[in-house]
A and B are shown apart, each in its own frame.
Chain A
C-alpha cells in the first residue's frame, strides 16, 4: 500500500527521466545524421576527385 505522495514522487522521477531521455534521443540522432552527412560529403569528394582524374 502506498500513499499518494509516494506515487507522486515516482511519477516525478519518471517524468524527469523521460524528459532527459527525449533530449538524449535528439542528441544521438544528431550524431548519427552528422556522421552520415560527413560520409556523404567524403563520398562526393571522392567521386569528384575520380572524375577530375578521369578527365586528366
Chain B
C-alpha cells in the first residue's frame, strides 16, 4: 500500500504538461491501442490519492493540538465541512469521467459480437455497402483486397485483384494468420508510408498498454467509439508463427467449458500477466511492467497474442508486419506480376 502511495505521489509530483499529455495520446494512437478504462483509472486514482492526503491532518499538527489542550474531535468537527467538499470533488470527478466513458463501455461489452458482425458483413458487402460479386467471380480474391484496391488506385494499374491475392499469399507463406488485418489510427497515412513504431521506440507511458505490442484487428470497421471515431485503416499482413492463440474462443465460452489444452493456455497467460503486472517484482512503472510481460511471453516462444475471433491481434515484433498499398508494396507487386 505504501508503495502504491509512493507511486501515485510520484505521479502527482510529475504532473504532465498539456503538451506531454497530447504526446502520450498520439503515441497511443500510433500503437493503435489505448485503454480508456486504464487511463480513467489512473487519473481517478491520482485524484483519490490527493483527496485522501489532504483530508488528513499531519502528525505534527495533531501533536500541537494535543500540546495546547485541544481535542481531535473538535479538530474533526471544524474540518468536517471542507472534508465533505473534498469528498464531493472526488465523487463529481468519478461521475463526470464515467459519463465520458459510457458509450465505450457499452461498446466494449459488445465488442466481439460487433467484430463478428462486421467480418460477416464484409463477406457479403463490398466497401460501398453493395452486394459483392458472386462467389464464382470472387474466387481466388482475398477478403479485404477490394478495399486495398479502392484505397490505393495505383494497384489497379499494375495487376488484377486475383494477381494481388496470389502475391499476398507469397509474402508470409508460413504465417498462421493469412487474412488481411487492419490497424486503425489517426496517423494511419503516415504509418503506411513510414512504417510502424514499437512502444519502446515511442516510449509511450500512457496507462492501458499491458504489452509492448502493436495492435491489429480483422474487423473492417472501427467498432469502438459509437461510430464517431474516424481513423485511417492501415491494411497489413502479419507473420505469425507461434501465437498464444485464443482466436477460437467464443463469447459463450467460460473457463469450465474450455478443453484441457485451452485451459492450460489461459492459465499460462494469467500466470505471466500476474507475474508481470500484479505480483511484487520490483517494477513500479506500468510501462516497465508491460515490457516485462512481453519478455515473459517471448521467452515462452510466443510472437503474438490472438484474441477471440481475431478481434485483436497483438504482435510483438514490427519486422513481422507487412503494410499494403504503400510505395514498397506497389513496387513488390509490380515485380511479382512481371515474374509471373
Contacts and interface: CB of A to CB of B under 8 A. Distances in A.
A54 B85 CA distance: 47
B172 to A, nearest CB: 26
B25 A7 contact: yes
Interface string A24-45: 1101100111011001101100
B97 A1 contact: no
Interface stretch (B32-40, B255-263, B291-299): B32-40
A55 interface: no
A13 interface: yes
B96 A13 contact: yes
**Most interface-central of A3, A16, A27, A43 (chain B CB within 10 A):** A3
B39 A10 contact: yes
Q: What is the interface residue range for chain A against chain B?
A: 20 to 34
B contact patch SS? helix
Interface of A: 1-4, 6-11, 13-14, 16-18, 20-21, 24-25, 27-28, 31-33, 35-36, 39-40, 42-43
Interface of B: 15, 18, 21-22, 25-26, 29, 32-36, 39-40, 43, 46-47, 50-51, 54-55, 57, 61, 64-65, 68-70, 74-75, 78-79, 82-83, 85-86, 89-90, 92-93, 96-97, 100-101, 104, 184, 186, 222, 224-225, 228-229
A7 B34 contact: yes
Contact of A43 (B36, B69, B79): B69
Nearest to B312: A1
Contact of A32 (B18, B29, B61, B89): B61
Contact of B43 (A10, A36, A40, A42): A10
**Most interface-central of A9, A16, A17, A33 (chain B CB within 10 A):** A17
Given A6-B104, A17-B90, 9 more contacts: A10-B39, A14-B47, A14-B93, A21-B47, A24-B89, A25-B54, A36-B65, A39-B70, A42-B69
